[in-house]
Structure 1
Amino acid sequence: MHVVVPFAADRPKTRLADTLDTDERREFADAMLRDVLAALDAVPRSLEVTVLSTGPVDGVDAAIEIDERPLTPAVNDRLGTAPTAVVMADLALATPDALTELFAAEADLAIAAGLGGGTNAFLARDSAFRVDYHGASYRDHLAIAREEGLSVREVDSRLLAVDIDEPADLAELLLHGDGAARDWLVDAGFELSVGGGRVEVVRE
C-alpha cells in the first residue's frame, strides 16, 4: 500500500505564527512529521511511504517527492494507483493502532475527519476518488465518493482527528502526546497551566 504524507516545507504551520517564530515552526513541523512517520513505520503491514513536500526535507527515513503545487492537484496526481492512503504530517497524536484501524476498514474509501471539518487521513481503494482540499473538505470528500458510487467507511478516531494547527491544539499534544513533537514543545519551554477550570498552554 502506498501512503502519501503531505508536508508544507516552505510555509510550515503559519497559524502558529503568534506563538512560534519561523525557525521554531519549521523545527516543530519537522518533529510532527517524524512522529507521523514513526507511527506509520510501526503499522504491522507493508507500507510504501512517500513524503510529498513543497521543499527539501532533511533527517527523515522516507522517500521524498518535491511538488510545489497546491495540495489538491499534488495529491490528485498520486491517486491514480489504488490503494493509496494520505495521512497529514501534523497528526502528532496518531498511533499505529489508529492507523491500522483506518487501513483495515473495508470500503472503497476509509476516511477520518479532523475536528474542524478537514480531512486528516484516508485510504482510497478505488482510483475514481479524488480530493478537493478547501474549507470543510471532509463533507466535500464524502460527496465526491457518493458521486462516484464508492462505498465509504467513516473512521471515528480521536487520535486521527487532532491536527496541530492552532495554539489551542498544543494543549492536546502536551496532554496526550509522547513523541518528538511533545518533546520539542517541552524543550522549548511550553507547559500546561490549570486555573479557573481551564487548561491553557504557557511558555516559560
Structure 2
Amino acid sequence: MHVVVPFSADRPKTRLADELSAAERRDFSEAMLSDVLDALDGVDRALDVTVLATGPVDTAGDATVEIDDRPLTTAVNDRLDTAPTAVVMADLALATPEPLADLLDSEADLAIAAGLGGGTNAFLARDTAFRVDYHGASYRDHLEIAGEEDLSVREVDSRLLAVDIDEPADLAELLLHGEGAATDWLVDAGFELDVGGGRVEVVRY
C-alpha cells in the first residue's frame, strides 16, 4: 500500500511564528515528521511510504522523498491514480500505529479521519475516483466528493489522529500526551506546562 506524507519544507508551521523562529519551526516540523514515520513503521503491514515535500528533507529515514512545490491539492491528486493510496499529514505527532492500522485496514472506498478544526488529517482511498480539495473545512468537502462519486465511506474517529499541531495552543496537547521526538524537542527547547490558576498553559523558560 502506498502512503503519502505531505511535508512543507520551505514555510513550515507559520502559525507558530510567535513561539518559534523559522529555523526552530523547521526543526520542530522535522521532529513531528519523524514521529509520523515511526508510527507508520510500526503498522504491521507492508507500506510504501513517500514523503511529498516542497524541498529537501533531512529526517525521512527509509521513506522515499519526492520534491513537489505545487499547491497541496494538485500535488496529492497527482498521486491518487493508483489504489489503494493513503495520505497522512506530517504534523500528527500524537499518532500511533494502532489508529493508523485501523484506518489502513478499512475496506471502504474511502476511510477518513478528521482534524479537530474540520480539516482532513488522514485518509485511505481505495477508489481512484476520489480526489482531494484542501481548503478550510476540507473534511466536509471530502465527504461531499465521496458522496458525488457514490463511494462507501468509513469515518475513523480517533483523537490521536485528530490532533494536528498548528497553533500555539496545540503544543499543550503534545506536552501532555506526546512521547516522541517532537515532544522531546519541545522540552529541550525550554517549553513546559504551567497548570497554575486552574488553567493549563504552555510557557517557555
Where 2:193 maps in the other structure, the secondary structure is strand
Runs (4+) off by over 4 Å = none
After superposition, the C-alpha distances for 1:79-108 in whole angstroms (9 at most, x for unaligned) are: 000000000000000000010011112200
- Name the SS for the 1:174 alignment partner: helix
Structure 1 segment 24-43 matched on structure 2, within 5 A: 24-43=24-43
Q: How far does residue 60 in structure 1 lie from its aligned partner after superposition?
A: 2.0
Q: State the secondary structure of the residue aligned to 1:196.
A: helix
Q: CA deviation at 1:59?
A: 3.0
Structure 1 partner of 2:64: 63
RMSD: 0.5
The equivalent of 1:185 in structure 2 is 186
Aligned equivalent of 1:126: 127
What does residue 2 of structure 1 align with? 2
Q: Which structure 1 segments of 5+ residues have no match?
A: none
Provide the residue aligned with 1:14 in structure 2. Answer: 14
User: How big is each residue's C-alpha offset from its partner over 1:61-80, in whole Å with a ceiling of 9 and x where there is no partner?
Assistant: 11000000000000000000
Q: Which runs of 5+ in 2 are unaligned?
A: none
The residue that corresponds to 1:203 in the other structure is 204
Q: Report 1:48-197 matches (<5 A).
A: 48-61=48-61, 62-197=63-198
Q: Write out per-residue CA displacement over residues 111-161 of structure 1, whole angstroms, 9 at most, x where no aligned residue.
A: 000000000000000000000000000000000000000000000000000
Letter in 1 for 2:141: D
Q: What TM-score, normalized to structure 1?
A: 0.99
- d(CA) in 2 for partners of 1:190, 1:58: 24
> So what's the TM-score if we normalise by structure 2?
0.99
Aligned-pair identity (%): 81
Residues matched between the structures, number = 204
In the alignment, is the contact (CA less than 8 A) between 2:130 and 2:149 conserved in 1? Answer: yes
- Partners of 2:26 and 2:155 lie apart in 1 by 32
Shift of 1:197: 1.7
